[in-house]
């Protein structure tokens, strides 16, 4: 067949309908190993639905998903995670009743045991700056810290593909700067797919940007190309 390089993730014709509404319509999306990709678009454009299908939270109505050369369309979520995906939720979904340490340890234990899991937990918590709070109940953390905890849970899984759904929402300026530095450290060992509203984060981090509108991919390109794209300005920035 002569496929030259296998992309880390491809979707073809991926579609999802919710009671008649086409949330995502025939999306062909490709992610190369090692890149940092941003996914942008206005509310309701279908970004979260698309990544939810990629990581198996919701089944697609039609289409296929390939990860690392394998057809994972029908895999349950946990199997995709074990194959190397990690997903952080848009609205932070943590174990509010458990200590911060245990939150991350649960993530680390999927691939490691005992001391190794504890070490990975500690490392992830130190990376996001939450190590001092390891023994607090996670529900007592401030909103911004809960977002960081989500990211730490993603890191602790040492994923090959890290999907971050609006990670900087609710973070302060200083925390956003630290987040950017962290993501730069992770690539290219980890491929990163980022849903983001904060344009400064998108423009500074992403190598390529994909724009969605009304369930379809509207444009794709480097940040500079996207910034210059009239169609994107009209649909997303609303200043066309």
Contact residues for another protein, defined by CB under 8 A: 19, 21, 42-44, 55, 57, 76-79, 81-82, 87, 89, 91, 93-99, 101-102, 105-107, 109-110, 113, 134-135, 139-140, 143, 146, 153, 157, 166, 169-170, 197-201, 214, 237-239
Nearer to another protein, 32 or 44 (CB): 44
Nearer to another protein, 32 or 158 (CB): 158
In angstroms, give the least distance from the CB of 107 to another protein. 5
Cβ 189 to another protein shortest distance, Å: 19
Backbone angles phi, psi at 147, to 5 degrees: -65, -40
**Can you tell me whether residue 205 is helix, strand or coil?**
helix
Instruction: Compute the least distance from the CB of residue 216 to another protein, in Å.
Output: 14
Query: Who's near 92: CB < 8 A, 6+ residues apart?
Result: 143, 146, 147, 149, 150
Nearest to 14 by CA among 22, 1, 26: 26
Cβ proximity to another protein, 146 vs 210, nearer residue: 146
Both tokens of residue 36? 């940092």
Least distance to another protein, CB of residue 169, Å: 5
**For residue 102, what are its two tokens?**
């245990």
User: Which CB atom, from 1 or from 21, has the smaller least distance to another protein?
Assistant: 21
Least CB distance to another protein at residue 55 (A): 7
Which of 34/44 has CB closer to another protein? Answer: 44
Q: Which residue has the tokens 């073809």?
A: 12
- Closest to another protein by CB, 187 or 214: 214
Class of residue 115 by CB neighbours under 10 A (exposed 0-12, middle 13-18, buried 19+): exposed
Residue 196: name the closest of 85, 113, 88, 120 by CA.
88
The minimum distance between CB 119 and another protein, in angstroms, equals: 14
- Which residue number, 64 or 95, has a Cβ lying nearer to another protein? 95
Who contacts 98 (Cβ-Cβ below 8 Å, separation ≥6)? 106, 137, 138
Q: Considering the complex, what minimum distance in angstroms separates the CB of residue 2 from another protein?
A: 34
Nearest to 43 by CA among 176, 183, 169: 169
Q: What letter does residue 234 receive in the DSSP assignment?
A: I
Q: Are 35 and 188 in contact (CB under 8 A)?
A: yes
């Amino acid at each position: 067949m002569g496929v030259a390089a296998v992309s880390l993730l491809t979707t073809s014709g991926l579609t999802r309908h919710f009671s008649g509404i086409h949330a995502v319509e025939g999306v062909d999306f490709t992610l190369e190993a090692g890149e940092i990709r941003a996914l942008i678009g206005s509310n309701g454009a279908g970004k979260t639905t698309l990544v939810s299908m990629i990581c198996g939270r919701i089944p697609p109505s039609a289409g296929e998903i390939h990860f690392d050369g394998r057809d994972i369309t029908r895999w349950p979520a946990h199997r995709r995670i074990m194959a190397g995906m990690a997903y952080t939720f848009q609205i932070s979904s943590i174990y509010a009743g458990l200590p911060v340490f245990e939150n991350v340890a649960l993530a680390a234990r999927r691939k490691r045991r005992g001391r190794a899991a504890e070490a990975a937990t500690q490392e992830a918590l130190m990376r996001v700056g939450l190590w001092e709070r390891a023994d607090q109940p996670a529900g007592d953390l401030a909103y911004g810290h809960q977002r960081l905890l989500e990211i730490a849970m993603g890191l602790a899984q040492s994923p090959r593909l890290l999907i971050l759904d609006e990670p900087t929402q609710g973070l302060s300026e200083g925390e956003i700067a630290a987040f950017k530095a962290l993501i730069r450290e992770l690539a290219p060992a980890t491929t990163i797919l980022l849903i983001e509203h904060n344009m400064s984060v998108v423009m500074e981090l992403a190598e390529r940007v994909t724009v969605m509108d009304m369930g379809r991919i509207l444009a794709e390109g480097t940040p500079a190309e996207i910034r210059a794209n009239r169609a994107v300005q009209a649909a997303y920035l609303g200043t066309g």
